[in-house]
Structure 1
Amino acid sequence: MIKACIFDLDGTLANTLESMASVANELMKELGLKEMPVDNFKYYCGEGADMLVRRCLKDAGDPELVYYEKARQIYRKRFDADPLYKVRVYQGIPELLAELRKKGVLLAVCSNKPHDAAVKVVKALFGDEFDFVIGQSEAIRRKPAPDAPLKAAEELKVLPEECLYIGDTGTDMETGKAAAMHTIGVLWGFRNREELEKNGAGWIAEKPDDIRKIYEEFYHD
């Protein structure tokens, strides 16, 4: 029986693509580098803010990462100041969470965002809907390490095999598998079906309500 659903944040619960691109491109312009297309950030993201900055700098004209340390500090500072900038919840997500709540499912978020930013964003977007939120910190290795979802399961007092891990990237699918959880890859986020299936998605959701259907069909008594 599934007792908990653990969600990725960026690209799964909320569309943060324009947010990431706007802040990063503003920074690239200040550094005298090229601004990058918004769609590029679908592939820059997924492994934490520092990796996003690295990938963006290389494509923007700094292959040697001369500006890396300066850029990563400014990028983090600007997101810390306003982590909700141009962030929007995906259509159908609030309804999905409400339905899962009615069924007694525990809800958590595991994000590669810095922990304080993740908590702030989830609270602002969803109020008290989630039972536990965890982001990246010195104590928690970033995904695909299973530290965050395993910590969430521990806090929720459920076993890993009693959890659905839900995300939009291959990294998320690797994370869920590493944590010995059931995985659902979502198609409304930043990556495609091929990447999700290649990296171990147990099920594919084309829209948020598909997660409810998967839960009902396969995982409840």
Structure 2
Amino acid sequence: MYKSCIFDLDGTIIDTIKSMTHSISLTMGNFGYAPVDEAHTKQFVGDGYRRLVERALLYSGDKELAHYEEALSIYEKTFRENCLYKVKAYDGMPELLTYLKEKGIKIGVLTNKGHERAVECVEAVYGKDFFDQIIGEGNGIKVKPDPAGALLMADRFLLPPSSCLYFGDTNTDMKTGRNAGMDTVGVTWGFRDRQELEAFQPKYIISHPSEIRHVFE
């Protein structure tokens, strides 16, 4: 029986794609580049904002990344101002999380989004102190797929990794769970397709949050 569920943020518990698409498009606009469409943003996110900016610049034509450092600074400011732009919970996720809490399952968020923005985003959608732990990028913790954050969360829960179930929507998440020695759940409502998730052989693949309830019954 799993005693904890650890969730990725973007594309897993909260639909944040519009906020990131809006922010990266505004950033690229500072250099005269066209907006980045939502489909490409979905491919660029997942490995932290530095990689998002790098990928967006390359896509926009800055092959030498001449604007990289300036773009990082602009994106940080822009996203700070727009991180809640049209964000919303995925259908069925509030119900699943409430169900888990009622079952006594510890729930946490582990994300490559900056820690302050992660807390702001999660609390805006789910309220303060809804999750037992939130860990975002920063404070010396390596970004996923490094398992450090997942292992730290398990340690804070006083649980072995084997009793934690890790949820995510990208290959980065599947690698994170595997690297941490946790069973993984691939979710198909996020930013990547089922084929990408299947390549990493998660314990479960679900297309709606309610589909994992049976594991806890």
Q: Give the TM-score range, shorter chain.
A: over 0.9
Report whether the alignment pairs 1:191 with 2:192.
yes
Q: Which moved more, 1:80-89 or 1:153-162?
A: 80-89
Q: Distance in 2 between matches of 1:169 and 1:7?
A: 12
Name the counterpart of 1:11: 11
Q: Distance in 1 between matches of 2:59 and 2:193?
A: 22
SS in 2 for 1:78: helix
| TM-score normalized by the length of structure 2 | 0.96
Q: Distance in 1 between matches of 2:80 and 2:179?
A: 29
Give the C-alpha shift of residue 52 in structure 1: 0.5
Name the counterpart of 2:124: 124
| TM-score normalized by the length of structure 1 | 0.94
C-alpha distance after superposition, 1:157-197 (max 9, x if no partner): 11100000000001100000000001000000011111111
Q: Distance in 2 between matches of 1:71 and 1:173?
A: 29
Q: Distance in 2 between matches of 1:30 and 1:73?
A: 12
RMSD, matched Cα: 1.1
1:155–1:101 distance in 2 versus 1, CA, 3 Å: same
Q: Which moved more, 1:187-196 or 1:73-82?
A: 73-82
Name the counterpart of 1:43: 43
Name the counterpart of 1:66: 66
Q: Which amino acid aligns with 2:122?
A: V
Deviating above 3 A after TM superposition, structure 1's stretches of 4 or more consecutive aligned residues are: none
- 1:128-167 alignment, distance < 5 Å: 128-167=129-168
Give the C-alpha shift of residue 91 in structure 1: 1.1
C-alpha distance after superposition, 1:44-71 (max 9, x if no partner): 0010011001001101111111111111
Q: Mind listing any 5+ residue stretches in structure 1 that lack a counterpart?
A: 217-221
Q: Which moved more, 1:75-84 or 1:198-207?
A: 75-84
SS in 2 for 1:135: strand
Name the counterpart of 1:84: 84
Q: Is the 8 A contact 2:19 2:82 kept in 1?
A: no
SS in 2 for 1:35: coil
Q: Mind listing any 5+ residue stretches in structure 2 that lack a counterpart?
A: none
Name the counterpart of 1:56: 56
SS in 1 for 2:11: coil
Q: Distance in 2 between matches of 1:198 and 1:25?
A: 31
Q: Which amino acid aligns with 1:190?
A: F
